[in-house]
Amino acid sequence: MFRNYLKVAFRTLWKHRSHTFINVVGLSVAFGTCVLLFLTATFELSYDTFHTDADRIFRLNFLASERDGTSSRSGTMPYVISPALKAEFPELEGVSRFFDRTSSVRRKEQTSNQDVRLVDADFLHMFSFPLLKGNPKTALNSLSDIVISEKMAQDVFGKEDPIGKPLELRMIGAWQTFTVTAIVSNAPRNSTLTYNAFIRSENSADYQANKSRWDFGNHDVYVKLKAGTDPQTLQRRTQAFMEKYFAKDIKQQKEQGYPVNELGFQRSLLLIPMREVHYDTETMNGEAISRAYIYTLMLVGLFILAIACINFINLTIAQSITRAREVGVRKSLGAQRSQLFGQIWGETLLLCVAALLIGLGLAYAVLPTFNRLFQSQLTIDSFLTPGTLLVTGLGFLLISLVAGGYPSWFVTRFNAVEVLKGSVKMSRPGLLRNSLIVTQFTIACLLIVCTMIIHQQITYLQQKPMGLDKDQVISVPVGNELNGTTVLKAMRDRLANQPTIAAVSGSAVNIGAGLDGSSSRMMFGFQYGKRDVSCDWLRIDTDYLKTMGVKLIQGRDFSPAFSTDSSSSVLITQSMAKALGETNPVGKYIKPDDKAYQIVGVVSDFNLYSLHEEAKPITLQMQSNHPIMYVLVRVNPQNLVGAMEAVKAAWKTIAPKQEFIGSFLDENTERWYRKEQRLATIFTSAAVIAILLSCMGLFSIALISIQQRTKEIGVRKVLGASVPSIVGLLSKDFLKLVVIGIFIASPIAWWAMNKWLQDFAYKIDVEWWVFVLAGVLAIGIALATVSLQSIRAALMNPVKSLRSE
């Protein structure tokens, strides 16, 4: 019996091979796309779940109120808060600072750059990063102890046992010796905290100067609660702690009329669960990913799968007339409805199995390209985990039941007598068919509109003036081994007579995301009269304005002729002057960090960081105690390749052992928006797949519909109907469905894109013409798809059409 069913299934699928091909292609593409997108989303949602006590680990945030009534969060903490919390809250099992730093490491003349994180001794027993060698209770007892990862141990020591061996780290401009006390396992790929080594946080360059200050912060703090401690109760108790140690700041804000934050206080301490840190886009400085982005991946996968399933259901129901006679004959010969359902659903299952296998093969084949395009970290092992296999199996069964179950039930319910008489009633299958086609094109139009708006926003971000000229500027990271001021002077000397070089300067902050992968930011908040002022504090060197194309508005630029420029003079931006309340601030003094600085010039506003956030007021200074981290070189546009080679050659003479990783600033700023580029790529790919699958389904439905109206078309032609009128008659019903889909998709897309654009301080307005263009595009594609069959049918000889009936 089973063998007979299998033969019938293969014969039926082969008989309708064009529709079988469309179904297999649609489902296999949908399965492959879904697997890749869902695996990526699942990986992102798994961040930090491997920690045994993740539910008891929290990252600290400050919650403050702004003058305009909004609340803002910050994860930057002062040194002194960690020991104070540990002393005053016995509910805490552990407290650790965390500095996201890199350092040069030297072992027997072998030098490399490593992610050396600064932490406290509690760190090793707070988190589930197991030690392969060493004791977690004593591994970081001394300031000269270093714990290295398994990978770093292999890279630096090879097969040699590292325990007890010395390592040199470049600290505060000099080499400092540390002793390896433990080897820690490599951080999992789904860990927010990454590392190559750990040393004590007291080794930070500014620790001694700021260890007792509550108004200076530069690191994250993590706490682990004792078992049974309620996080909400503890958080409420920390309010008294805040009122005690930040009394001066809170008093000043109250006097200036600042509103309270969302908790009802001027300033509060929040406990952010460890499992939420990876998704905290507000305070993780670009290292986080929004949950909305992850859910978008899953939603796009479901959309693609839904379109493929709709195609399958529509085609199966459209073919029901041809299967009706078969069902009638089998019923008259004694076949039970359950047997017929099993046979027809078995054909569906066979087709779905083939599509699943092909889809998994496609997913595996495109995996390297997918990882490169979407910066994913999927491997073949990701496919073979028990959870993935279980979800894939259950999802496959659900889809085969939904996509194949209804059509099978629909076909097998025909009355045998009516079928054999030729008077079968379809019970308005067009309503379901039309609803599914509308759903298809609603999804397709939604993806088209989202793709267009995302591309518009990315183009706007890349082309919006930043207040500086980022074109033809090369940024060269100095690194940790070299003295930035010395390197800058040497680069100026070597590039002085080069015809391709226009200007050379230096800065502590790169513009954009450079090839070194690091970023930094220093901010100061202080009182100016009765004004509360906050600004970015930027270390630059002479010729910065010339190199970066920043305009001088008032006063003068920094100059070697003024000795005070490197110690007590500053430039400020226009927005900084506005924050001070001064129309002519030149000659005035500001006192951040209790030191007086004279304003010698005002420059135009410029964006120091990405356009996700509004440009902050900036103070530019040349204090020698703040290092130069990047050499900036403006080159002439006539020979960019030659200019880059000249800069590279100069670098090699200065630092022959250090890799040159210079890059153009316009490339750096594009890397600011990699997440948006990934989203655009996802939506573009999804829109193309959705349109192709929808058109394949529409093509097949139109073909079957036209075949069922062959006699009608012949009669109309005999009665004098023209080819255009017949094409219009056959196309208009389908185009109506597409138009309905456009009207449904447009408000959904408008709402979704406006929500997405809220993440940007600088954004486009969603224009009406985007929806019109998307609609015209969808109608044009649908019309081309349907017209192909309509024209063919309209040109058919009416004698043949009538004879075929």
CA distances from 104 to 99, 174, 175, 177, 749 (A): 15, 10, 9, 12, 49
- pLDDT over 70 at 793, yes or no: no
Residues near 269 by beta carbon (within 8 Å), at least 6 away in sequence: 60, 61, 62, 63, 235, 238, 239, 241, 242
pLDDT of residue 427: 45
pLDDT of residue 167: 92
Coil, strand or helix at 158:
coil
- pLDDT over 50 at 416, yes or no: yes
CA distance 271 to 234: 9
Amino acid identity for residue 383 in this structure: F
Q: Which of 371, 403, 427 is the last residue of a domain?
A: 427
CA distances from 701 to 19, 413, 621 (A): 10, 22, 70
Residues 504 and 632 grouped into a single domain: yes
- pLDDT over 60 at 418, yes or no: no
- pLDDT over 90 at 762, yes or no: no
Between 7-16, 199-208, 310-319, 634-643, the lowest mean confidence (pLDDT) is in: 7-16
Rounded to two decimals, the pTM is 0.78
- pLDDT over 70 at 14, yes or no: no
Residues 182 and 310 grouped into a single domain: no
pLDDT of residue 186: 93
Residues 493 and 633 grouped into a single domain: yes
Higher pLDDT, 4 or 398: 398
- pLDDT over 50 at 571, yes or no: yes
* Arithmetic mean of pLDDT, 742-748: 91
* Arithmetic mean of pLDDT, 313-319: 69
Q: How many domains does the chain have?
A: 3
Report yes or no: 21 and 356 within 8 Å, Cβ to Cβ.
no
Q: Which of 295, 288, 236, 294 is nearest to 265 (CA)?
A: 236
Residues 621 and 665 grouped into a single domain: yes
Q: Which of 504, 464, 463, 510 is nearest to 668 (CA)?
A: 510
Mean pLDDT of the chain: 81
Q: Averaging pLDDT over each range in 213-217, 231-235, 799-803, which range is the top one?
A: 231-235
pLDDT of residue 707: 65
* Arithmetic mean of pLDDT, 124-141: 90
Residues 320 and 385 grouped into a single domain: yes
Q: How many CB atoms lie within 10 A of CB 295?
A: 13
pLDDT of residue 423: 53
DSSP 340: H
- pLDDT over 80 at 284, yes or no: no
**pLDDT digits over 435-463, tens only?**
878 888 888 888 888 888 888 888 888 78
* Arithmetic mean of pLDDT, 140-145: 92
**Is the residue at 105 inside a domain?**
yes
**pLDDT digits over 165-176, tens only?**
999 898 777 788
Higher pLDDT, 577 or 395: 577
Residues 422 and 546 grouped into a single domain: no
List the alpha helices (DSSP H) in 211-285.
Answer: 231-245, 247-255, 274-277
Residues 168 and 310 grouped into a single domain: no
Band (563; pLDDT cuts 50, 70, 90): confident
- pLDDT over 90 at 680, yes or no: no
- pLDDT over 60 at 116, yes or no: yes
**Is the residue at 254 inside a domain?**
no
Q: How many CB atoms lie within 10 A of CB 783?
A: 17
Residue by residue, DSSP assigns 23-61 as HHHHHHHHHHHHHHHHHHHHHHHTTTTTSTTGGGEEEEE
Residues 294 and 272 grouped into a single domain: no
* Arithmetic mean of pLDDT, 492-516: 85
CA distance 318 to 312: 10
User: Which residues are bridge partners to 268 per DSSP?
Assistant: 63
* Arithmetic mean of pLDDT, 543-551: 90
Distance of CA 530 to the CA centre of its chain: 41
* Arithmetic mean of pLDDT, 3-19: 61
**Is the residue at 54 inside a domain?**
no
User: Which residues are bridge partners to 224 per DSSP?
Assistant: 57, 94
CA distance 517 to 509: 12
CA distance 77 to 188: 26
CA distances from 475 to 36, 405, 628 (A): 36, 61, 12
**Is the residue at 284 inside a domain?**
yes
* Arithmetic mean of pLDDT, 220-245: 92
CA distances from 296 to 291, 690, 743 (A): 8, 15, 22
**pLDDT digits over 590-611, tens only?**
888 778 889 999 999 888 887 7
* Arithmetic mean of pLDDT, 748-752: 90
Report yes or no: 195 and 153 within 8 Å, Cβ to Cβ.
no
Q: Averaging pLDDT over each range in 18-22, 69-73, 147-151, 794-798, which range is the top one?
A: 147-151
**Is the residue at 716 inside a domain?**
no
Band (478; pLDDT cuts 50, 70, 90): confident
pLDDT of residue 232: 92
Residue by residue, DSSP assigns 580-609 as HT-SS-TT-EE-GGG--EEEEEEE----SS
Report yes or no: 119 and 96 within 8 Å, Cβ to Cβ.
yes
Q: How many CB atoms lie within 10 A of CB 202?
A: 13
Coil, strand or helix at 532:
strand
The pLDDT > 70 percentage for the chain reads 85
Band (512; pLDDT cuts 50, 70, 90): confident
- pLDDT over 90 at 224, yes or no: yes
**Is the residue at 355 inside a domain?**
yes
**pLDDT digits over 79-90, tens only?**
999 999 999 999
Q: Which of 403, 427, 451 is the last residue of a domain?
A: 427
Band (60; pLDDT cuts 50, 70, 90): very high
Residue 631 domain boundaries: 473-671
Q: How many CB atoms lie within 10 A of CB 387?
A: 9
CA distances from 483 to 100, 109, 531, 537, 564 (A): 21, 19, 37, 20, 22
Q: How many CB atoms lie within 10 A of CB 633?
A: 28
Band (747; pLDDT cuts 50, 70, 90): very high
**Is the residue at 703 inside a domain?**
no
CA distance 37 to 295: 10
pLDDT of residue 54: 92
Tokens representing residue 150 in the block: 């398994």
Residues 370 and 385 grouped into a single domain: yes
Q: Which of 671, 691, 710 is the last residue of a domain?
A: 671
Residues 135 and 41 grouped into a single domain: no
pLDDT of residue 429: 47
pLDDT of residue 798: 62
**Is the residue at 262 inside a domain?**
no
pLDDT of residue 502: 87
pLDDT of residue 89: 93
* Arithmetic mean of pLDDT, 414-427: 54
* Arithmetic mean of pLDDT, 715-740: 76
Q: Which of 192, 228, 226 is nearest to 100 (CA)?
A: 192
- pLDDT over 60 at 219, yes or no: yes
Band (5; pLDDT cuts 50, 70, 90): low
- pLDDT over 90 at 94, yes or no: yes
CA distance 210 to 215: 9
pLDDT of residue 428: 46
Residues 422 and 485 grouped into a single domain: no
Between 177-181, 559-563, 696-700, the lowest mean confidence (pLDDT) is in: 696-700
Which residues of 510-645 form beta strands (DSSP E)? 523-528, 531-539, 552-555, 569-573, 589-590, 597-603, 618-621, 630-635
Residue 108 has phi, psi (to 5 degrees) of: 55, 55
Residues 34 and 122 grouped into a single domain: no
